[in-house]
Amino acid sequence: MTADVAGPVRSAAVRAWRGVRWYLREWSGEARWDDYLAHCAAHGHQPVSRREFERRRADERERNPVSRCC
Amino acid sequence: MSTTVSRPDTDGGPPGGTGRRRPTLKSTLVWTAVAVVGAVAWTVLALSRGESVSALWMLFAALCSYAIAYRFYARFIAYRALRVDDRRATPAERLHNGIDFDVTDRRVLFGHHFAAIAGAGPLVGPVLAAQMGYLPGTIWIVVGVIFAGAVQDMVVLFFSMRRNGKSLGQMVREEIGIVGGVAALIAVFAIMILILAVLALIVVNALAESPWGVFSIALTIPIALFMGVYLRVLRPGRVLEATAIGVVLLLLAIVGGGWIDNTGLADALTLSKEWLVLALVVYGFVASVLPVWLLLTPRDYLSTFMKIGVIALLAVSLLIARPVLQADAITDFAREGTGPVFAGSLFPFVFITIACGALSGFHALISSGTTPKMVAKESQVRLIGYGGMLMESFVAISALIAAVVIDQGLYYAMNAPAGVTGGTPETAAAYVSGLGFPTSAADLAAASAAVQEPSLISRTGGAPTLAVGISEIFSNAFGGNLQAFWYHFAIMFEALFILTAVDAGTRVGRFMLQDTIGNVWKKFGDLSWRPGNIIASAIVVGLWGGMLYIGVTDPLGGVNQLFPLFGIANQLLAAIALTLCTVLLVKHGKLKYAWITAVPLAWDLVVTMTASWQKVFSDNPAIGYFAQRNRYATALDNGEVLAPAQDVGQMQQVVTNSTINGVLQAFFALLVVVVFVNALVVIARAVRARGPLPTTEEPAVPSRIVEPSGLFATAEEKQAIAEHERLVGAGAGARGQGTFTEEGPAR
Distance from CA of B443 to the nearest CA of A (A): 33
Contact residues on chain B for A40, CB-CB shorter than 8 A: 740
DSSP-based three-state secondary structure for B744: strand
**CB A70 to CB B504 under 8 A?**
no
User: What is the distance between the alpha carbons of residues B564 and B744, in angstroms, rounded to a whole number?
Assistant: 49
Instruction: Look at chain B and count its residues.
Output: 747
Residue B94 in any domain: the answer is yes
User: What is the distance between the alpha carbons of residues B503 and B282, in angstroms, rounded to a whole number?
Assistant: 11
pLDDT tens track for A49-69: 999 999 998 888 888 777 777
B737, pLDDT greater than 50: no
Residue B216 in any domain: the answer is no
User: What is the distance between the alpha carbons of residues B278 and B281, in angstroms, rounded to a whole number?
Assistant: 5
User: For B72-77, which contacts have Cβ atoms below 8 Å and span 24 or more sequence positions?
Assistant: B73/B146, B73/B147, B74/B150, B74/B154, B74/B382, B74/B386, B74/B387, B75/B11, B75/B13, B75/B382, B77/B151, B77/B154, B77/B155, B77/B382, B77/B386, B77/B596
User: What is the distance between the alpha carbons of residues B632 and B650, in angstroms, rounded to a whole number?
Assistant: 10
Task: Please list the ranges in chain A whose pLDDT falls under 70.
Answer: 1-5
Nearest by CB to B740, from A39, A54, A60: name it: A39
- What pairs with residue B702 in β-bridges? B88
DSSP conformation class of B88: B
| Residue-range definition of the domain harbouring residue B542 | 25-210+270-689
Model confidence band, residue B713 (pLDDT cutoffs 50, 70, 90) = very high
Task: Note the ipTM here.
Answer: 0.90
- Residue ranges of alpha helices (H) inside B588-624 are 595-617
| Cβ atoms within 10 Å of A10's Cβ, excluding its own | 12
Task: Give pLDDT, residue B20.
Answer: 64
User: What is the distance between the alpha carbons of residues B408 and B328, in angstroms, rounded to a whole number?
Assistant: 9
**CB B369 to CB A67 under 8 A?**
yes
pLDDT tens track for B338-352: 999 988 899 999 999
Task: Give pLDDT, residue A5.
Answer: 66
Residue B172's domain is classified under what CATH number? Answer: 1.20.1740.10
B52 and B324 in contact (C-beta within 8 Å)? Answer: yes
Share above pLDDT 70 across residues of chain B, in percent, rounded to a whole number: 95
Residue A17 in any domain: the answer is yes
Task: Give pLDDT, residue B577.
Answer: 97
Radius of gyration for the alpha carbons in chain A, expressed in angstroms and rounded: 19
Q: Is B742 on the interface with A (CB under 8 A)?
A: yes
Nearest Cα residue to B353 out of B494, B98, B560: B560
pLDDT tens track for B469-478: 999 999 999 9
User: What is the distance between the alpha carbons of residues B280 and B335, in angstroms, rounded to a whole number?
Assistant: 38
User: What is the distance between the alpha carbons of residues B137 and B327, in angstroms, rounded to a whole number?
Assistant: 12
Residue A69 in any domain: the answer is no
Task: Give pLDDT, residue B425.
Answer: 95
**CB A36 to CB B236 under 8 A?**
no
**CB B501 to CB A57 under 8 A?**
no
Residue B658 in any domain: the answer is yes
DSSP-based three-state secondary structure for B294: coil
Contact residues on chain B for A63, CB-CB shorter than 8 A: 527
User: What is the distance between the alpha carbons of residues B118 and B235, in angstroms, rounded to a whole number?
Assistant: 30
Task: Give pLDDT, residue B162.
Answer: 97
Task: Give pLDDT, residue B217.
Answer: 93
B746, pLDDT greater than 60: no
User: What is the distance between the alpha carbons of residues B533 and B525, in angstroms, rounded to a whole number?
Assistant: 9
pLDDT tens track for B625-655: 999 999 999 999 999 999 889 899 999 999 9
**CB B737 to CB A54 under 8 A?**
no
Residue B716 in any domain: the answer is no
Model confidence band, residue B94 (pLDDT cutoffs 50, 70, 90) = very high
Task: Give pLDDT, residue B643.
Answer: 84
Residue A21 in any domain: the answer is yes
**CB A67 to CB B107 under 8 A?**
no
The total number of structural domains that make up chain A: 1
pLDDT tens track for B13-36: 444 444 467 889 999 999 999 999
**CB B120 to CB A70 under 8 A?**
yes
What CA–CA distances, in Å, run from B468 to B78, B306, B414, B465, B473? 41, 18, 10, 5, 9
Residue B257 in any domain: the answer is no
Nearest Cα residue to B572 out of B595, B605, B594: B605
The total number of structural domains that make up chain B: 1
User: What is the distance between the alpha carbons of residues B187 and B612, in angstroms, rounded to a whole number?
Assistant: 15
Task: Give pLDDT, residue B503.
Answer: 87
| Residue-range definition of the domain harbouring residue A58 | 3-63
Distance from CA of A2 to the nearest CA of B (A): 31
Q: Tell whether the torsion through CA atoms of B524, B525, B531 and B535 is positive or negative.
A: positive
**CB A24 to CB B240 under 8 A?**
yes
- B462 φ/ψ angles, rounded to the nearest 5 degrees: 95, -35
B282, pLDDT greater than 50: yes
Query: Mean pLDDT, to the nearest integer, of B551-569?
Result: 89
**CB A67 to CB B365 under 8 A?**
yes
User: What is the distance between the alpha carbons of residues B66 and B198, in angstroms, rounded to a whole number?
Assistant: 29
Task: Give pLDDT, residue B49.
Answer: 81
Q: Is B232 on the interface with A (CB under 8 A)?
A: yes
Task: Give pLDDT, residue B561.
Answer: 86
Task: Give pLDDT, residue B119.
Answer: 86
Residue B424 in any domain: the answer is yes
Task: Give pLDDT, residue A4.
Answer: 62
Q: Is B370 on the interface with A (CB under 8 A)?
A: yes
For B391-415, letters b (16+ CB in 10 Å) and e give bbbbbbbbbbbbbbbbbbbbbbbbb
Task: Give pLDDT, residue A53.
Answer: 93
Model confidence band, residue B206 (pLDDT cutoffs 50, 70, 90) = very high
Model confidence band, residue B50 (pLDDT cutoffs 50, 70, 90) = confident
Residue A32 in any domain: the answer is yes
User: What is the distance between the alpha carbons of residues B466 and B410, in angstroms, rounded to a whole number?
Assistant: 12
B730, pLDDT greater than 80: no
Q: Is B740 on the interface with A (CB under 8 A)?
A: yes
Query: Mean pLDDT, to the nearest integer, of B480-498?
Result: 91
Mean residue pLDDT of chain B comes to: 91
What CA–CA distances, in Å, run from B451 to B214, B256, B448, B478, B531? 15, 15, 5, 16, 46
Nearest by CB to A69, from B116, B511, B745: name it: B116
Tell how many helices (H) and how many strands (E) occur in chain B.
32, 2
For chain A, list residues whose CB is within 8 angstroms of any CB belonging to chain B. Answer: 23-33, 35-36, 38-40, 42, 45-46, 48, 50-58, 60-70
DSSP conformation class of B745: E
Residue B8 in any domain: the answer is no
